[in-house]
Structure 1
Amino acid sequence: MKYASLALPLLSMILSCTGHKGEEVARPGKPAIILDTDIGPDYDDVGAVAMMHALADSGEVEPLAIIASNAQELVVPTIDVLNTYFGRPDLPTAAPKRPNAPQAGASQGWPELLTGRYPHRIRSSTEAPDALTAYRRLLAAQPDSSVTIVTIGFLTNMASLLDSRPDSISDLNGKELIGRKVKRLVSMAGAFPEGREYNVLVDSVASGKVFTQWPTEIIFSGFEIGKAVVTGLRLTQDTLRNSPVKDAFAKAMSFSKGDSLGRMSWDQTAVLAAARGAERYFGLQRGYFIPKGGNNAWKDDPKGPHAYLKFKTPVPELTRTIEDLMMHHPVTK
């Protein structure tokens, strides 16, 4: 086990993602995805991370990194547990280092369960590289208009990236770098056509900046979408042993009486839309997201740069699709 000394090897790993050797440059024909997660306040993030690994194993996506938007100490170790379990222990990760970055833990105790039971190298989020540096290096290494960023947590890292200045990594500022390298942003954020939602609320300043200044298309999976898609029960009944995904859901569902039949799939719907294309499962209402502190409103516009998901596929079918991906077993290598 490596402890504080792990930070330098991890940073070296991310520094290698500049594309000079081509190891981390996404291959054409599949979405290249950076998943940005607050994994901890809720456990639907665990299902979303499992889905991303399942989609990578099936050749549907090219995972570039899983980055924390939450500076709480067990967030990156939890990401490391899941990456290791799915056979990608070297998949880049990072955490926000800016002052006053959000720190939100889980009340059900599943992060402690996973980090106490399963192999991982990163012992605390403080050991992880800086998220902003990781984003700039990862994006600079990719072909133009090739990267999909999926945020299923706070918009902290996205605001920091927007505000970033030219540096030794790239002579582009943050908005220019995003505009050149990012194809779209998919966010589990907001409630539509108006409402109040946790990911927008926690870092509302960052949310307001991102959703008014982001230079590419943004697709929103709103609160109302994930609320209707309840998953996890089949997962907890699976005979598979030693699964951190199953263990997280079983622990949290037993802790919360209202979750006895499963948990709402807010984050999973965002990953599904990003990986397989929103139009395959959902309708899109195009227009403009209007931030109002921790709340949001919406303005319809058929030519708008934003769109939110609307149900097209029946909810039972969506539930099966998501749950099947969450129940994916790691590929034996």
Structure 2
Amino acid sequence: MHYKLFKNCFLPKLNKSILLAILVFSTLCSCTRHEEEMTCIPVIFDTDAGNDIDDVLAMQMLFNYEKAGKIDLLGITISKSNPYTIEYIDGYCRLNGRNDIPLGYAYNGVNPEDGNYLRQTIDTIIDGNKILFPQRSINNSIPEGYKLLRKMLAAQKDSSVVFIAVGPETNLARLLTSEPDEYSTLNGKSLIARKVKVLSVMAGRFDERVDHPEWNILQDLNAAQTTFKEWPTPIIASGWEIGTSILYPHQSILNDFPDSYKHPLCVSYKIYQRMPYDRETWDLTSVLQAIEPESNYFNLSEKGIITIDSIGQSIFSTSENGKYQYLIMQKEENIQTILKALVNQVTGKK
């Protein structure tokens, strides 16, 4: 009701102090609703950047979501056990204004090799200047990934954290089996159950036409088996077949970034494979689903259980008590809609 009308209708019956109290209460309620609507989604990102270039595209999506006020990126844990990954990610975070973002590392983990673009991008000099400026390295006492995860989760509200994992499940399994510590009196599984809302994971194959195990699963098979057996909250898995069907266009790498010739994402993309090539969007689809589930870019399977067998196959069984689902492509013509959303989010053109 308009204030003037409200005043004319009711002022004779209400003294000014009561009217003022009503107006203050109404304003407070409005502000509270506004704050609730504007609350950022707390997000944790676990990545094996360096094994594939799609991790960098996915990371840029998250930074752009954060710049738009959609998420609060709490920290990044690294599942590739190569020191250059720390430097690369630190430099990339600084590029996006997140100099102090917490980083965790899977010591004695998998994939210790350098990869195709980490060191090469760090060492790249263009126009007489480096393009990445990392300040942290393996020598800076980077915490264990699972310890950082415990610290971050313990500080969050219950059932609030969106956890995105796009590499081997090393840090996740270590978190699950962790004991109470200075951050929480809960063990890992109980801490996850209390704090995590959903795990969006790039893992597995759920297309019956493909009968070989998915790469992330195979890299740390024991960790994958532990994660899918013990994870206590809902899981949304983006299987190999989803990212394979949506290819990120190389034209975007060439044309959509200011000074693309020296942008670290574009340089890394060109180093990773010989151009021109369109890369699968495995990790990007996990990010898109995690942050924009309401957009319904994908269908979801029935709820059930995902089991990882002894050779790494992903086996899904429907179950009334199951909490796990996997993404299903709605129809082929929907690919262009999803691709546009991915490109817009990577490039920040939304």
Q: Fold-level match, TM-score > 0.5?
A: yes
Read off the aligned partner of 1:263 and give its amino acid letter: R
Read off the aligned partner of 1:190 and give its amino acid letter: G
Read off the aligned partner of 2:174 and give its amino acid letter: S
Aligned with 1:200 (options 217, 231, 240):
217
Match of 2:181 in 1: 167
Task: Identify the range of structure 1 (162-171 vs 216-225) with the bigger mean alpha-carbon deviation.
Answer: 162-171
Match of 2:110 in 1: 102
Match of 1:83 in 2: 93
Match of 1:280 in 2: 296
Secondary structure of the residue aligned to 1:101 is: strand
Aligned with 2:347 (options 315, 327, 331):
327
Match of 2:269 in 1: 249
Cα offset, 1:279, TM superposition: 5.8
Larger Rg belongs to: 2
1:233 to 2:250 alignment: yes
Secondary structure of the residue aligned to 1:115 is: helix
Cα offset, 1:94, TM superposition: 1.1
Aligned with 2:195 (options 171, 181, 188):
181
C-alpha deviations, 1:170-194, integer Å up to 9, x for none? 1111111111111111100000045
Unaligned runs of 5+ in 2: 1-35, 124-129
Task: Identify the range of structure 1 (74-83 vs 276-285) with the bigger mean alpha-carbon deviation.
Answer: 276-285
Secondary structure of the residue aligned to 2:186 is: coil
C-alpha deviations, 1:250-308, integer Å up to 9, x for none? 222327xxxx3310000000001111116621110022112113221111236521000
Match of 1:312 in 2: 330
Checking the alignment, whether the CA contact within 8 Å between 1:36 and 1:153 is kept in structure 2 is yes
- In 2, distance between residues paired with 1:312 and 1:59? 29
Checking the alignment, whether the CA contact within 8 Å between 2:243 and 2:285 is kept in structure 1 is yes
- In 2, distance between residues paired with 1:71 and 1:126? 15
Match of 1:48 in 2: 58
- In 2, distance between residues paired with 1:42 and 1:282? 23
- In 2, distance between residues paired with 1:308 and 1:226? 13
- In 2, distance between residues paired with 1:125 and 1:214? 32
Task: Report the CA distance shift for 1:91/1:240 in structure 2 as closer, same or farther (over 3 A).
Answer: same
C-alpha deviations, 1:291-333, integer Å up to 9, x for none? 113221111236521000011371112112111221238xxxx
- In 2, distance between residues paired with 1:271 and 1:296? 21
Match of 1:220 in 2: 237
Task: Identify the range of structure 1 (228-237 vs 65-74) with the bigger mean alpha-carbon deviation.
Answer: 228-237
Read off the aligned partner of 2:122 and give its amino acid letter: T
- In 2, distance between residues paired with 1:145 and 1:250? 40
- In 2, distance between residues paired with 1:135 and 1:167? 12
Secondary structure of the residue aligned to 1:145 is: coil
Matches within 5 A, 1:82-161: 82-97=92-107, 100-105=108-113, 107-108=115-116, 110-116=117-123, 117=130, 118-124=132-138, 127-161=141-175
Task: Report the CA distance shift for 1:73/1:263 in structure 2 as closer, same or farther (over 3 A).
Answer: same
- In 1, distance between residues paired with 2:65 and 2:189? 29
Secondary structure of the residue aligned to 2:60 is: helix
Checking the alignment, whether the CA contact within 8 Å between 2:180 and 2:187 is kept in structure 1 is yes
Read off the aligned partner of 1:174 and give its amino acid letter: G
Match of 1:15 in 2: none
Task: Identify the range of structure 1 (216-225 vs 185-194) with the bigger mean alpha-carbon deviation.
Answer: 185-194
Match of 1:34 in 2: 44
Read off the aligned partner of 1:171 and give its amino acid letter: T
Match of 2:71 in 1: 61
Cα offset, 1:221, TM superposition: 0.4
Query: TM-score, normalised on structure 1?
Result: 0.84
Secondary structure of the residue aligned to 2:63 is: helix
Query: TM-score, normalised on structure 2?
Result: 0.80
Secondary structure of the residue aligned to 2:156 is: coil
1:267 to 2:283 alignment: yes
- In 1, distance between residues paired with 2:37 and 2:146? 24
Checking the alignment, whether the CA contact within 8 Å between 1:35 and 1:66 is kept in structure 2 is yes
Task: Report the CA distance shift for 1:35/1:61 in structure 2 as closer, same or farther (over 3 A).
Answer: same
Read off the aligned partner of 2:343 and give its amino acid letter: E
- In 1, distance between residues paired with 2:219 and 2:52? 13
Checking the alignment, whether the CA contact within 8 Å between 1:235 and 1:326 is kept in structure 2 is no
Secondary structure of the residue aligned to 1:59 is: coil
- In 2, distance between residues paired with 1:278 and 1:228? 21
Checking the alignment, whether the CA contact within 8 Å between 2:84 and 2:114 is kept in structure 1 is no
Match of 1:292 in 2: 309
